Structure 1
Amino acid sequence: MRLIAVLIALMVSGAALAQTDPAAAARAASDRLSNAAKILDEADGARNRVKALSEAVHAYEDGLQAMREGLRRAAIREQTLTRELQSREDEISRLLGTLLSIGGTPAPVLLLHPSGPVGTARSGMILADVTPGLNARALALREKLQEVSVLRALQQSAVNKLQEGLQGVQEARTSLSQAIAERTELPRRFTEDPVKTALLIASTETLEGFASGLSHIAVDEVPGSLPGISSRKGSLPLPVQGRILRRAGEADAAGIARPGIVMVSRPRAMVTTPSAATIRYRGPLLDYGNVIILEPQAGILLVLAGLDVVYGQIGEVLPGGSPVGLMGGETTQTGLVLTGNGQETGEEQTETLYIEVRQDNVPVDPETWFQTDKDD
């Protein structure tokens, strides 16, 4: 009978489901990681290798983030379906029992009824009414079981793709560091006086004091300024992929409030300059950790603090979007571990970057300069 055929198909069918949202997200992320690998392969022959490698790192970071989200959604969907099926075990058992009993009864017997022709007609009418409902429930069950099977297979393949992406982004970061070390074509606005820099660091107790003395460490500085960025106020891209953890003026766990914002990102995330800028300082500073101070135009300083690796040399002029460093932390083997409730652990957003904007040596709210989600 048709219902028995549906039951058999339910148990053995391996046909692929139509794409669900979690599956589509994971597949799209896999394509993005494949594109990132192509960009990395082509970077060696690029005229501007640093730019090409930066694009490769960004592409990998985008793809990895999308893959983690696709995996998370797939895992949550699978767990939701599994719990739903478990909660309906009794109903499913009764359905299967009914289908089996119908299928095991010889067709001639089904046409007879103990009360005679009238009873046979009535039972036929009842069966005609019940059969479509049973058929629909069997089909719905089949679709859910198939979706669970597809999601599980997809998660395994996605984890493998995620591992390839993590290896690819590590290779891209290593190549980027080497390319930056070999870079010689960047213009320089001034030469650093290392003695004056050391004296400034030793005599400084605040970021304000350090910033006000930066002009004194420059030797043979070219007059003028880079093109202004005032017209881009409010639309500058954030230096790192992540989310805002603390806004300007919000106190941290120790009760310390700073005029900048704190962003949280994933380990080893790449940090870039939002616009063309001169490197005014790079290195450790006070209690800020590794710092790079950029000057996009005269009178404006962008302070990025908390990096693990800092790129570039003091006095160099960087094009917009250039890498200026990497965040710290260690990446996990797969970069993703899902707990039983579908929550992500492992390579989470654990690294913090402090961002401060100073205008005429007065701190201003960075969110007035950067494009951010105010409801974040």
Structure 2
Amino acid sequence: MRRLAACLALFIAGPLAAQTDPGAAARRAADALDAAAVELARAEGAQNRVAALTEAIRAYESGLASLREGLRRASLREASIRAVFDAESGRLSQLVGALQTMQTAPEATLLLHPSGPVGTARSGMMMSDVTPALQSEIDRLRGRLEEIAALRRLQEDASEDLEAGLRTLQEARVELSRAVSERTDLPRRVVEDEGTMRNIIAGTETLAGFAEGLSELPADPEAPAIPDFAAAQGDLALPVEGNLLRAFDEADAAGVQRPGWLLATTPGALVTTPWPATVRYRGPLLDYGNVIVLEPTAGYLMVFAGLREVYGETGQVLPAGAPVGLVGDPGRAAIPRDSGDEAGQGRIDTLYIELRQGDTPLDPAEWFRRTED
């Protein structure tokens, strides 16, 4: 991270200091990754390792997302400068040639003019006016070249930090999987037997149908109390670091509408529950890959589809912010994504989200907080 910080100092102190967006984004990312490393170190001895590792992984994901954005901006800025430089190269070459000719020509020759002393005087005055302009062009060109060099160093150092961060993040995910599997302190509720669940799955043709089947099962009268989910409307955090790719009931490229959100995210992104909830089902379902169905309150269901790995066990009551899985599954192809959508730029995996109240799907836009991209 320190190499990146040093490079950023050169970049920001450059002749075109107004163009600091790429450097500023990368600097924030470097700070975020340093903070994430501290959180990860603390997680080793934390009493609740699952919560500590979850927080550290989220911090790493946020920092790496910022670093990718800084790299993207730096690349765009470099391309923009090079395009201007290429467009002006012919004219600038002529100006440089003129300056070189002036510098190498004999002084006596510069003082002579075919029209005599008056012409010589006039040409001298013209040259005194032109020379500062030529020098200004040269300085501007030098500044652009220096900015390109700084951008290139920034991208090289940031790429190394990105690779190191991704390795650390993968190690943290492995640790989290181990910590979740060893967890024994979560409350549980009575759940349906395997035969009942198999019957529900066998009679299900759609994700909505499966969710409806679960919602019709009797409630557990001794289930641990969970805060009223209705009070969370409009204030839920997104379960994953990502961008909205397709909204509620928005048709995909094939014209298929789904009553949920499709989020573009990075492979292996951590998914957490935004509200205390009971795990009602986890595992493969239809052609959605791995699915986890959470019940935040009786009558409501949250469905997350397209998971590579699913955490927890059916019947566990999870606190808000608990990890429930990692994004990425071969079955995600069943949920088409628009690769050319700007909202998904730089992200190559998807998570599908549905919220339901009884048999009625709810628009996630009315429940989740989301900053505009």
Cα distance in 1 for partners of 2:123, 2:223 equals: 98
Cα distance in 2 for partners of 1:94, 1:255 equals: 57
Matches within 5 A, 1:304-319: 304-319=304-319
CA drift of 1:141 comes to 0.6
Cα distance in 2 for partners of 1:113, 1:272 equals: 81
Equivalent pairs counted in the alignment come to 349
Q: What are the superposed Cα offsets for residues 145-182 of structure 1, whole Å, 9 maximum, x if unpaired? A: 11111111211111111111111111111111111111
Structure-1 residue corresponding to 2:132: 132
Matches within 5 A, 1:39-54: 39-54=39-54
Cα distance in 1 for partners of 2:84, 2:207 equals: 57
- Percent of aligned positions that are identical: 52
Residue identity matched to 2:152: R
Structure 1 residues 208 and 158: CA distance shift in structure 2, 3 A:
closer
Structure-1 residue corresponding to 2:365: 367
Contact 2:12–2:23, Cα closer than 8 Å, also in 1:
no
SS of the residue 1:235 aligns to: coil
Cα distance in 1 for partners of 2:251, 2:90 equals: 54
Structure 1 residues 215 and 255: CA distance shift in structure 2, 3 A:
closer
Structure-2 residue corresponding to 1:263: 263
Structure-1 residue corresponding to 2:102: 102
SS of the residue 1:131 aligns to: helix
SS of the residue 2:296 aligns to: strand
Matches within 5 A, 1:1-376: 17=14, 19=17, 20-105=20-105, 110=110, 118-191=118-191, 193-214=193-214, 222-223=222-223, 225-328=225-328, 348-372=346-370
Residue identity matched to 1:74: A
Cα distance in 1 for partners of 2:224, 2:41 equals: 40
Q: What are the superposed Cα offsets for residues 301-332 of structure 1, whole Å, 9 maximum, x if unpaired? A: 111112111101112121111110001169xx
Structure 1 residues 215 and 26: CA distance shift in structure 2, 3 A:
closer
Q: What are the superposed Cα offsets for residues 243-263 of structure 1, whole Å, 9 maximum, x if unpaired? A: 223222234445443322222
Structure-2 residue corresponding to 1:340: none
CA drift of 1:109 comes to 6.1
Q: Identify which range, 81-90 or 108-117, moves more after superposition.
A: 108-117
Q: Identify which range, 112-121 or 87-96, moves more after superposition.
A: 112-121
CA drift of 1:200 comes to 3.1
* Cα RMSD, aligned residues only: 3.0
Q: What are the superposed Cα offsets for residues 224-243 of structure 1, whole Å, 9 maximum, x if unpaired? A: 64111323212211212222
CA drift of 1:298 comes to 2.0
Cα distance in 2 for partners of 1:14, 1:317 equals: 50
Cα distance in 2 for partners of 1:109, 1:329 equals: 77
Cα distance in 2 for partners of 1:66, 1:24 equals: 10
Give TM-score, length-normalised by structure 1: 0.82
SS of the residue 1:245 aligns to: strand
Segments of 5+ residues of structure 1 without an aligned counterpart are 1-12, 331-342
SS of the residue 1:88 aligns to: helix
CA drift of 1:107 comes to 5.4
Segments of 5+ residues of structure 2 without an aligned counterpart are 1-9, 331-340
Cα distance in 2 for partners of 1:314, 1:131 equals: 79
Contact 1:248–1:259, Cα closer than 8 Å, also in 2:
yes
Q: What are the superposed Cα offsets for residues 95-127 of structure 1, whole Å, 9 maximum, x if unpaired? A: 111211222245576566676654443233222
Structure 1 residues 311 and 221: CA distance shift in structure 2, 3 A:
farther
Give TM-score, length-normalised by structure 2: 0.83
Structure 1 residues 16 and 315: CA distance shift in structure 2, 3 A:
same
Contact 1:262–1:354, Cα closer than 8 Å, also in 2:
yes
Contact 1:305–1:354, Cα closer than 8 Å, also in 2:
yes
Residue identity matched to 1:124: G
Residue identity matched to 2:359: N
CA drift of 1:93 comes to 1.3
CA drift of 1:34 comes to 2.6
Residue identity matched to 1:349: R
